Copies of this chain bind each other. A is one copy, B any other.
Amino acid sequence: MTEFAPVEQQLQLLRRGAADLVDEKQLAEKLERSRKSGKPLTIKTGFDPTAPDLHLGHTVLLRKMRHFQELGHRVIFLIGDFTGMIGDPTGKKATRPQLTKEQVLENSETYKRQVFGILDPEVTVIEYNSRWLDELGAHGMVKLAGSYTLARMMERDDFRTRYESHQPISLHEMLYPLVQGYDSIALEADVELGGHDQIFNLLVGRDLMRERGMEPQVVLTVPLLVGTDGTDKMSKSLGNAIAVEDSATEMFGRTMSIPDALMWDWLLLLTDTPEGEIAQLRQQVESGENPKAVKQRLARSIVEGYWSAEDATKAQEEFDRVFSRGGRPQDIESVVHSGPRLLTAVLAETGLASSKSEARRLVQQGAVSIDDERVSDPFHQVPMRDSAYLFKVGKRRFLEITLQEPEDAS
């Protein structure tokens, strides 16, 4: 019989950084029962089966899953292949491409590689929801739809907003929350974890379970992590993300770039630093201590999680060399660019900016220099020359670019 920690001790870890907990009393009861029976709770977290490229924003959720694992509970990593294999039937802009069975399996391999830095591969249960949803049949799907009303579905903010502003809502979008809820029924989930933006869907699962006479799942969400810019939710397309597969140097440097005010959330959500200690550090900084030491500690802690203590030390040395002393990084990547020579196009196509419009903004903000000369005209054409240019964007992004005439299309 498994020995579980006292309920209050478990709750303390599980509450850490949570955005919603519906509700704590029920969670305490479930933990109590599990402790008495020696039976772990079943924790469900769903993931899209689209090609994953995880960044630190995703790890907030993964870390919460790990908390449950550390406490001895059964954590299910649920891959939503059923919906992934449907794709977006509206055919609009291929935002949700239809995946084959092979692609789903391939993506789940990539997932495993990326998430097992955080989750314990020995005890993580991987499931695919097609297992029970394929069996459900057309009948079962219509019945499932019958268990919810339009009005309740429209309680979801984005549905209501889109409907009222005459944005199209495809009917199948209203089925997805039900499908997700059905997953909870199939898995007999005790707890479902998700991002705070998923709260509506998670509560639908609670409703459906209650309607079937099951004990409803507890819903626990984590906040959306703010990205390196300190304003927007971390997202690859906004260029404010740190990928879990980024190099140690990059992770360290980009963490050091976040606004001081963001450090406390990151310490809470991305490290194991005890909450009391975070409060203490914060008080010290607020009473005038230099925040740099705290940020270094945060950056080291993040790098150590994905690399090693040694890598973290190297990354820190590199960071100090380059930025603290105004030098250049040791390894600067080189690329050959053969596209248009308009500055914004060069920045976007080499990846120094995420888009031409971001490139324009960066140039206008004075963040771009070529061979140490700041360029402020976004319509600047980079002249051809044989030797490479050294591009610098912001304080830390360097790239050697060699221009090449575009090949003749004929």
Contact = CB atoms under 8 A, between A and B. Distances in A.
A92 to B, nearest CB: 10
B134 A151 contact: no
A192 to B, nearest CB: 21
Nearest to A169: B150
A166 B163 CA distance: 16
B134 A138 contact: yes
A199 interface: no
A172 B150 contact: no
A330 interface: no
Say how many copies of this protein the assembly contains: 2
Interface residues of A, number: 39
Interface stretch (A60-68, A174-182, A313-321): A174-182
A174 B151 contact: no
Contacts of A166: 151
A145 to B, nearest CB: 4
A38 interface: no
B171 A150 contact: yes
15 contacts: A82-B139, A86-B139, A133-B138, A133-B139, A141-B142, A145-B170, A145-B172, A145-B174, A145-B175, A146-B172, A149-B169, A150-B174, A151-B166, A151-B168, A151-B169
Interface of A: 82-83, 85-86, 88-90, 133-151, 153, 163, 166, 168-175, 178-179
